[in-house]
Amino acid sequence: MNLLHTTQVRRRRLGVGAAAAGLLATLLASGPAVAVPDPGDATAREKVSAGQAADTRSAIRNGEIPGVDEVVHSDNIEHVTNIPKDALAGTNSDLAFQGRYAFAGNYDGFRIFDISNPKKPTTVSQVLCPGSQNDISVSGDLLFLSTDSSRSDNSCNSTSQPATEKSSWEGMKIFDISDKRNPKYVAAVETACGSHTHTLVPERRNVYVYVSSYSPNAAFPDCQPPHDGISVIKVPRKAPEKSAIVNFPVLFPGEGPDGGGNPGSPTNPGVSKTTGCHDITVLPSKDLAAGACMGDGILFDIEDPEHPKVIDRVQDNVNFAFWHSATFNQRADKVIFTDELGGGGAATCNAEIGPDRGADGIYDIVGKGDRRQLVFRSYFKIPRHQADTENCVAHNGSLIPVKGRDIMVQAWYQGGVSVWDFTNSSKPKEIAYFERGPLSATTISSGGSWSAYYYNGYIYSNDMAKGFDVLKLSDRRTDAGKKVRMHELNVQTQPDYFDDFDD
């Protein structure tokens, strides 16, 4: 396979010097929990040092990294199309799929695409409903939207309001999408500390929603410490207006004001204190879930979805700063956890940070039943160094359904989209990539792929700044995945690809 801009060139040491060393020291000292409510949602533009800017310009001029906004990719990936932002100007976020539709979250609301022709997606509707980060999922005729910013009320006309005010609202919004051209807002449930992300556990009559949120504060009436669990919402499919919280399971029991999670700094320098979960992935066919919970990774049993039970818990106080998300392999004997070092707003894909931080951690699941344990095997990080003006770190991805192999596609913000094989847990390797050059040669501007997911033969990526990308992967190692056709895909609710698909 011939790669454009070869690996040897892309390994160049960008940003060497005092400024880069200062960035590294800052990341190690503070960890990613530098922004509230989300360490991964920075949108500000920030000047880099004159030396870093000069180094970036030199690397572009010499062809060592792509030019500003230049598209590069491996030979086995085709960039099919890009659909720029339209009415919703905010940051693009997560994706969900159903039939011929893709649902794209945005801080200003959500957008529905018709992807029946992946080469020419068309906009079906756009819904203005501000409230970061608008994490999105769908089940049947219902669409779920997370609100993790303090609002004046639960309507789509709300305005920002301080979390110190008791009347402020954050939580889950529910829409009826039986008419994709005219989604209707039908219900809302307020949850403690809002809803940064959420995960569906669908059943025939009801949908359970696991709400992940964090960063409590004694000054916030609706987000009090300790916040050491998740909200569980029960949504009746035929009466979503009756949705309600049915449990708040404590995942990190312990004494003291912060519960029993990772204490973070100064006990564990550079590690986020666990005050909730960032994201949860469930595998309903196995009654399993994996939680990425700031300073902790957990494995739990969801046989009773209202009462999830923790099986095992791990920490990595050397290389993981912020446990961000999780992905099971198909056999449920591995979990990939991502570390969002720098909060998604920093340049961490470079030689100064190295290959083990801001990376994926690969864990095998060993043992049976309640004695199952997570056992660390290795790290994976994209091998292509990025400029010091590019925010880059491990982010959201999904499996590519290929029997007998463990392959996933993953977003890396301005590091682009990577396809990598972790069939051998100890020796993961990248097999394809797509990326754009930096948004700027002089300024860190948040952008790049937030989520990159494989659905019915194509890779779909929601770029925070550039819009909706469609990619086609052609590789003998992954081509079998094109035969797997899904009716619905919420990546955090992982399907059993080989039992649930249409032949």
- The arithmetic mean of pLDDT across residues 460-468, rounded, is 98
Task: Please spell the DSSP secondary structure of 89-114, one letter per residue.
Answer: -S-EEEEEEETTEEEEEETTEEEEEE
The 10s digit of each residue's pLDDT in 393-433 is 999 999 999 999 999 999 999 999 999 999 999 999 999 99
Q: How confident is the model at residue 503 (pLDDT cuts 50, 70, 90)?
A: very low
Q: How confident is the model at residue 291 (pLDDT cuts 50, 70, 90)?
A: very high
414 Rama class: left (phi>0) / alpha (psi -120 to 50) / beta? alpha
438: closest CA among 148, 57, 21?
A: 57
Residue 301's pLDDT is what? Answer: 98
Q: In which residue are the tokens 């994926």 written?
A: 360
The 10s digit of each residue's pLDDT in 326-343 is 999 999 999 999 999 999
CA–CA dist 337, 327 (Å, integer): 7
Beta-carbon contacts of 483 under 8 Å, excluding residues fewer than 6 positions away, are none
Return the bridge partners of 8, or none.
none
Say which DSSP state 19 is in. Answer: H
Q: How confident is the model at residue 41 (pLDDT cuts 50, 70, 90)?
A: very low
